[in-house]
Chains A and B, each alone.
Chain A
Amino acid sequence: MEDNLLLDAIERYRNGEMTGEEKTFFEELRKNNAAIDQVVAEHNFFLTELEKMSELTSFKQSLNEVESKLINEGVISHKGLKGKAKISFLWSRYRRTIAVAASIAGLVSIATATIVSTYSEKKNVAAITPLVDNKLHQMEHKINQIENKINVASAAASRVAVKPKFEANFRATGFLADGNGYIITNAHVVKDARNLIVENKKGEQFSANAVYVNKNTDLAILKITDTSFQKLTDLPYTFTKSPTELGEHIFTLGYPREEIVYGEGYLSAKSGYFGDTTSYQVSISVNPGNSGGPVVNKNGEVIGIISGKETNADGVVFAIKSKNIYDALKDVIKKDSIKLPVKNTLKGLDRVQQIKWLEDYVYMIKGN
C-alpha cells in the first residue's frame, strides 16, 4: 500500500494538487531518500510517456475529424482524384507506358484485322460451340481418347500404317528407367498381355514390348517400340540401393484413374508379404492401377515399385525394393545399351516441384 501512496503523491505533485505544506514535505523526502527519488524519477518518466501518447492520441483524433470534415466539403478528394487533376496526374505517371501501349495497340489492331478477315468463315464453328459444351463433360473422356489418337497419328504421320483399334482391358503404372524408352513395371501387369500401350501425362500413346519379365521378383521391363517416341535426356531421379529406414516419408504417382494421381505415406516394414525381404511394406493409399508406380523418398530417389496390397487389411501395401531393379536391368543391359540415371535433380526441391518433374516420366500402361 505504501507504494500506492507514493505513486499517488507523485501524481498529485505533478498535477499541482498538493498544499504548500505537503509539497515541502514531499520535496524534503525526495532529497533525503535516494530510493524514493529513484522511484519518483522513474514514475515521472513513465507519466511523461503516457501523457505524450495521450496527447498524440487526442491530436490524431482531431486530425481525423478535421480530415473527414474536409473530405465532406470536397477540399480533400475522397477516392483517388477526380476530373482534370486525375487525367493530368495519370498522364504524367504513365506517359511512357501510354506511348508504348499506343504503338502496340496499332500493331494489334492491324494484326486483328488481318486475322478477322482471314478467318471470318470460321465464325459458324464458334457460334455452335456453346451448345456442345454441356455434352462435352460426358464426352470428355472419349474426346480425349480421340485426341490422343489424332496426336499419335499426326506424330506418326510419316508412317503409312494406321494403328489398329485398341481396346484395353487393364490399366497399370510404369516409369522410365532410361530415356530411350525402357519402362519399369510389374510382371503381373504384363504377363498375360498380347498388346501393350503406354501413355504419358500429355496423353501421347506409344506401343511397347516386354523385353524382360521375371515372375519371381514381379518385375518387368518394357521397351517403347514406336518411332514417334522422342528420346528423353537425363532422368531427374535415381534408383537407390541403400536400404530405407522405417518411418521415412515416401510418395507415389500412378494411374488408378485416367488421370495421374499422387499419394503419400511412410515406410512401415522392411520386409514384404510373409517376410519377403525383396519388398518393403509401405503405408500409402493405392488402388488398382497403381501397380508398377514408383515409390520415391523425400530426396527424389526411387526406393521401390508398388506391387500389390494385402486384400484383407487396410493400408498394407507392398513395394519391390529398388535393388531388384538393378538386377533386372543388368540382364537387359547385356542385350541393350541402357544407361541408368546417375544424377538426381529432385533433391532439395519441394514436393510440388518434385512431382512436376517426375510426372513426365510416369506412364500409364494399358493392354489386352
Chain B
Amino acid sequence: MNIYEQEKQLLEAFVSNDRIAIERIYRENFPSIQAFIIKNNGYADDAKDIFQEAMIILFQKAKLDSFVLTCQIKTYLYSVCRRLWLKKLQRENRYNHVTDLFKETIAVEDEIEAHEKQNAEMNLMEKALSKIGEPCKGILEAFYIHKKTMPEIAEAFEYTNADNAKTQKYKCLIRLKKIFFSQYKNGE
C-alpha cells in the first residue's frame, strides 16, 4: 500500500468519526502547527483553536462526495492552519513577515470561504434549535442527533407511549422548520 492509499484509508476512518483516526491525525500534526503558530507571534492556545478549526474544515471537506485527496493530510492541515492564522493576524493588524516551517503548501482559500459559509448555515440551525425551547429541543436532538428510537424518547421524556412522543416530535419539528426557514429566507 503506498502512502496515498494509507492516507486515504485514514481519512475515511476520520470522516466516519473514528476516534482512533482522529487521535492519530491530531497526534501527528498538532506539534508542527503549534511550532508554526508560536514562531509567528501566537500562543499555545491560539494553536489549539486554529488546529481545531482546521480539523473541522478537513472533516467537512472530506465528507463531500466530490472530495479527492490531492496531497498529504499533513500538507493540507498545515496549509489551512497557515491561512487561518494569517487571516487572524491580519484581522488584528499584527501581520508582518511569516516564517514558514514547510515549503510545500496548497491553495486553500476556497475551502476556508466554503467553511465560513457552512459555519453560518450551521449557526442558523443551532440558533433555530436554541429558540424552540424545551422539551422540543431535547426531543429533536435525541431523535435526529443522538439517533434514539421513539420508545426510548418516550421513556426519557416521560410520555405514556411512543405514539404520544411521536406526535410531540412532529409538533416540535414543524416549529423548528418554521423558525429555520424564516431565518434562512431573511438571510440571517
Instruction: State the A residues within 8 Å of B (CB).
Output: 3-4, 7, 42-43, 46-47, 49-60, 62-63, 65-67, 69-70, 75-77, 79-81, 85, 89, 92-93
Contacts and interface: CB of A to CB of B under 8 A. Distances in A.
Contact of A75 (B22, B27, B122): B27
A62 B48 contact: no
B180 A49 contact: yes
Secondary structure call for the A interface: helix
Contacts, number: 88
- Interface size class on chain B is 35 or more
A46 B48 CA distance: 32
Contact of A54 (B19, B43, B145): B145
B52 A63 contact: yes
Interface stretch (B53-61, B72-80, B103-111, B152-160): B53-61
A7 B41 CA distance: 52
A46 to B, nearest CB: 6
Contacts of B60: 52, 56
Contact of A62 (B19, B125, B170, B181): B19
A59 B38 CA distance: 26
A47 B180 CA distance: 11
Interface in B28-71: 30-31, 34, 38-39, 41, 43-45, 48, 52, 55-56, 59-60, 63
Given A56-B59, A77-B44, A63 B22 contact: yes
A46 B180 contact: yes
Contact of B63 (A46, A55, A77): A55
Contacts of A4: 167, 170
A58 B44 contact: no
B17 interface: yes
Contacts of A59: 17, 22, 56, 59
A64 B60 CA distance: 17
A66 B26 contact: yes
A69 B144 contact: no
Secondary structure call for the B interface: helix
Interface in B115-151: 118, 121-122, 124-126, 144-145
A49 B17 contact: no
B130 to A, nearest CB: 12
Given A57-B145, A67-B26, A81-B44, A49 B19 contact: no
Nearest to A64: B52
B45 A80 contact: yes
Contacts of A65: 19
Nearest to A4: B170
A80 B44 contact: yes
A51 B39 contact: no
A76 B59 contact: no
Nearest to B19: A62
The 9 closest A-B pairs by CB, nearest first: A54-B145, A4-B170, A53-B125, A66-B23, A89-B38, A77-B44, A81-B44, A66-B22, A50-B144
